[in-house]
Amino acid sequence: MISIKAILGDEHRRCSVAAIPDFASLCEALATLFDRDCNSFRVFYRDDENDLVRISSNIDLQEALRLTTSTFNIVLVPQAPAAEVQVTPTDDQPAAGSLKPEKAAEKAAKTTEESTVMANLKKAPKTESKPNSIQLRCAATGKFLRILPTGSVDG
């Protein structure tokens, strides 16, 4: 038996399963546990260095289970639905409809991510020294973003 403790926001749930054969089965079990759709969250676990590591494949799941000693601790991060992106054609841009849905969703996600980072920076305490740039790691995606002194985001 594998004991699972899953956290989604302020909700904590526990269950036991005989086995977790693959990542899809884990997602289905978590979706049932929290009464959600499998695509509405991302799955992470705490590794042996206490870092949050994303599980997105069977290989990731096998590694997570290998590192689990007693209870499989899982953290679920809500995944916002991809926003629709309006594309207005210009002389140097292709006509509307030629932007692939994956690229539109990626662009929308990046814009949302940049907005979140900028909002968090505005809340951060002011320091006396002015660094050339600040590097932040997004907990949801694991990507690193660099904030330039101008306020623009490079990532």
- Place 127 in a pLDDT band, splitting at 50, 70 and 90: very low
Count of Cβ atoms closer than 10 Å to residue 106 Cβ: 13
Does residue 137 have a pLDDT over 90? no
The pLDDT, as a whole number, for residue 70 is 85
Q: CA-to-CA distance for 27 and 58, rounded, in angstroms?
A: 11
Instruction: Specify the amino acid at residue 97.
Output: G
Write down the pTM of the prediction: 0.52
pLDDT confidence of residue 128 = 47
The torsion angles phi and psi of 107, rounded to 5 degrees, stand at: -65, -40
The single-letter DSSP state of residue 2 is: E
Residues 64-93 pLDDT 10s: 999 988 889 999 999 876 554 444 555 555
Rounded average pLDDT over 92-104: 52
| Paired tokens of 59 | 């290989």
- What's the pLDDT at 36? 92
For the residues 11-30, what does the mean pLDDT come to?
92
The token duo for 125 is 């305490």
pLDDT computed for residue 48 by the predictor:
85
Mean pLDDT taken over the chain: 74
